[in-house]
Amino acid sequence: MTKTARSMAGLPWIAAMAFFMQALDATILNTALPAIAHSLGRSPLAMQSAIISYTLTVAMLIPVSGWLADRFGTRRVFMFAVSLFTLGSFACAMSNSLGELVVFRVIQGIGGAMMMPVARLALLRAYPRSELLPVLNFVTMPGLVGPILGPLLGGVLVTWASWHWIFLINIPIGILGLIYARKYMPNFTTPRRGFDMTGFLLFGLSLVCISSGMELFGERIVASYIGILTILSGLALLAAYIWHARRHPTPLIALPMFRTRTFSIGIIGNLASRLGTGCVPFLMPLMLQVGFGYSALIAGCMMAPTAIGSLLAKSTVTQVLRRLGYRKTLVGVTLVIGLLIGQFSLQSPGMEVWMLILPLFILGMAMSTQFTAMNTITLADLTDENASSGNSVLAVTQQLAISLGVAVSAAVLRLYEGVESINTVEQFHYTFLTMGAVTLVSALVFLLLRPKDGRNMIKR
């Protein structure tokens, strides 16, 4: 086997490792926050900055990853990203205060912002579009294992060892990733182009403002109008970036790629449909604990069926897309997801557990199919010239969609909390109904696809 063939064979495993590290880190940290807060002498409510600092760093720096990979090569940038993420993990474990933890989470975020986007960019350049669907499908599977292992592993480590191990566990994985990447990852580059610093500042700050505004508005950290003003400021900066990009010879993110119809539909569909899917991991544990009286451990484990369903569906996505095509699949599965989210309004504390587990399992299968189809149709028709920018936009969209789903559902829940005539469980029921309806409407976006769209991705 030639060196190129070995690189091609090993590349999906490298990308899968990056996805696994990110997914595992996120879920372990959330379950361990109370233990970290106790160790550092802080209130658990004051620990939110440890999460936000990472999220905002990732959102702001994702667009830079494409330019860096084009300029210095995918292998060099990926190895640098994994090194930063691994060193940041070690530093987080050594933190003695919340301030130190936040600073080192930012370092982790710098690595995280480049790790998965650069690995996916390497896949885009290494594989023809007709072979990309099964490859991307494989890459996302280890990332779906994270939500299953994360809460359980986090609970075990905090209970039987200490919270420091939730960060230290990244070190051996990172070292293996570096060894594997050095041996197998291709070092793709493109002709040099200047770095658009003005565009980076406008676009990056717009993402920070939008993400921060969503957190402020959804979590009620400050008055609602401050969150709204922050979001509007972000939108104004985004408009300023568009004005700037139209006049810059080599903008950070090129606007002409939005003329690619499938790309634009995929980006809009990601934002619209993830309002519903993004609310479930936030609302369900809350309803189970606050409304139904379940313990935090049981509530966390109840989300496992969704992750298991996501894993099992990965083996059937390609066959479904070949039989139905992207248009029918995305419209149909989005309608199913909307109905499943809405039916959570029928759940009550006295119902059998399996009646909650079964819909969560089916929801996981539907979400897995939707995510794979959305991501691949978004990238399907991009050229090698705009693959880097398109990949960055998709990664940013996914990052923002997570915050947007939580913020919107939190705002809806808060709206129903103001209605005195309904109890706590009913507040969650009405919120699920609302978000389910929003998801059903989002299916209209995928009607804009043509029946033959994405055919080059699913050739036999």
User: Using one digit for the tens of pLDDT, what is the confidence trace for 90-124?
Assistant: 999 998 888 888 899 999 989 988 887 888 788 87
Residue 97's Cβ-side half-sphere holds a number of Cα atoms within 13 Å equal to: 3
Q: In sequence order, what are the residues at sequence separation of 6 or more whose Cβ sits closer than 8 angstroms to the Cβ of residue 85?
A: 21, 108, 111, 112, 115, 170, 174
Question: Hey, which of 6-20, 44-58, 369-383, 409-423 has the most confident mean pLDDT?
Answer: 369-383
User: Which pLDDT score, from 0 to 100, does residue 217 have?
Assistant: 67
- Which tokens go with 283? 């609302």
Checking if the pLDDT of 142 tops 80, the result is no
Checking if the pLDDT of 26 tops 80, the result is no
Helices then strands, each counted (H, E), the chain = 17, 0
Checking if the pLDDT of 164 tops 60, the result is yes
Checking if the pLDDT of 83 tops 70, the result is yes
Q: In sequence order, what are the residues at sequence separation of 6 or more whose Cβ sits closer than 8 angstroms to the Cβ of residue 72?
A: 189
User: Which pLDDT score, from 0 to 100, does residue 145 have?
Assistant: 66
Query: Cβ distance 40 to 96 under 8 Å?
Result: yes
User: Which pLDDT score, from 0 to 100, does residue 296 have?
Assistant: 62
User: Which pLDDT score, from 0 to 100, does residue 2 have?
Assistant: 42
Is residue 242 very low, low, confident or very high in pLDDT (cuts 50, 70, 90)? Answer: very high
Query: Cβ distance 24 to 146 under 8 Å?
Result: yes
The full DSSP string for 330-383 is HHHHHHHHHHHHHHGGG--TTS-THHHHHHHHHHHHHHHHHHHHHHHHHHTT--
CA 395, CA 123: separation in Å to the nearest integer? Answer: 14
pLDDT exceeding 90 applies to what percent of the chain?
21
Q: Residues 36-44: what's their mean pLDDT?
A: 76
Comparing CA positions, the residue from 250, 309, 234, 267 lying closest to residue 395 is 267
Q: Taking the model in full, what pTM does it have?
A: 0.75
Q: Residues 144-153: what's their mean pLDDT?
A: 65
CA 265, CA 378: separation in Å to the nearest integer? Answer: 7
The full DSSP string for 244-266 is HHTT-SS-SS-GGGGGSHHHHHH
Q: In sequence order, what are the residues at sequence separation of 6 or more whose Cβ sits closer than 8 angstroms to the Cβ of residue 59?
A: 113, 207, 208, 211, 396, 399, 400
Checking if the pLDDT of 309 tops 80, the result is yes
Is residue 251 very low, low, confident or very high in pLDDT (cuts 50, 70, 90)? Answer: confident
CA 41, CA 49: separation in Å to the nearest integer? Answer: 15
201 or 156: whose pLDDT is higher? Answer: 201
Is residue 344 very low, low, confident or very high in pLDDT (cuts 50, 70, 90)? Answer: very high
The full DSSP string for 184-227 is H------------HHHHHHHHHHHHHHHHHHHHHHHTSS-HHHH
Residues 155, 158, 160, 166, CA torsion sign: positive
Distances (CA, A) of 290 to 342, 427, 430: 19, 11, 15
Query: Cβ distance 46 to 98 under 8 Å?
Result: yes
User: Which pLDDT score, from 0 to 100, does residue 144 have?
Assistant: 63
147 or 367: whose pLDDT is higher? Answer: 367
Q: Residues 324-334: what's their mean pLDDT?
A: 93
Q: Residues 237-259: what's their mean pLDDT?
A: 88
Q: Residues 391-414: what's their mean pLDDT?
A: 77
CA 83, CA 341: separation in Å to the nearest integer? Answer: 40
Q: Can you tell me which residue has the tokens 């594997």?
A: 180
Comparing CA positions, the residue from 10, 317, 336 lying closest to residue 144 is 317
CA 68, CA 64: separation in Å to the nearest integer? Answer: 6
User: Which pLDDT score, from 0 to 100, does residue 1 have?
Assistant: 40
Is residue 9 very low, low, confident or very high in pLDDT (cuts 50, 70, 90)? Answer: low
User: Which pLDDT score, from 0 to 100, does residue 21 have?
Assistant: 79
Question: Hey, which of 46-55, 376-385, 401-410, 445-454 has the most confident mean pLDDT?
Answer: 445-454
Residue 342's Cβ-side half-sphere holds a number of Cα atoms within 13 Å equal to: 14
81-108 in b/e burial notation, b at 16+ Cβ within 10 A? Answer: bbebbbbbbbbbbebeebeebbebbbbb
Please give the torsion angle defined by the CA atoms of residues 64, 66, 67 and 68, in that order, rounded to the nearest 10 degrees. 80
Is residue 223 very low, low, confident or very high in pLDDT (cuts 50, 70, 90)? Answer: confident
E strand or H helix at 150: helix 129-160
Residue 244's Cβ-side half-sphere holds a number of Cα atoms within 13 Å equal to: 18
Q: Which residue spans within 28-175 are E strands per DSSP?
A: none
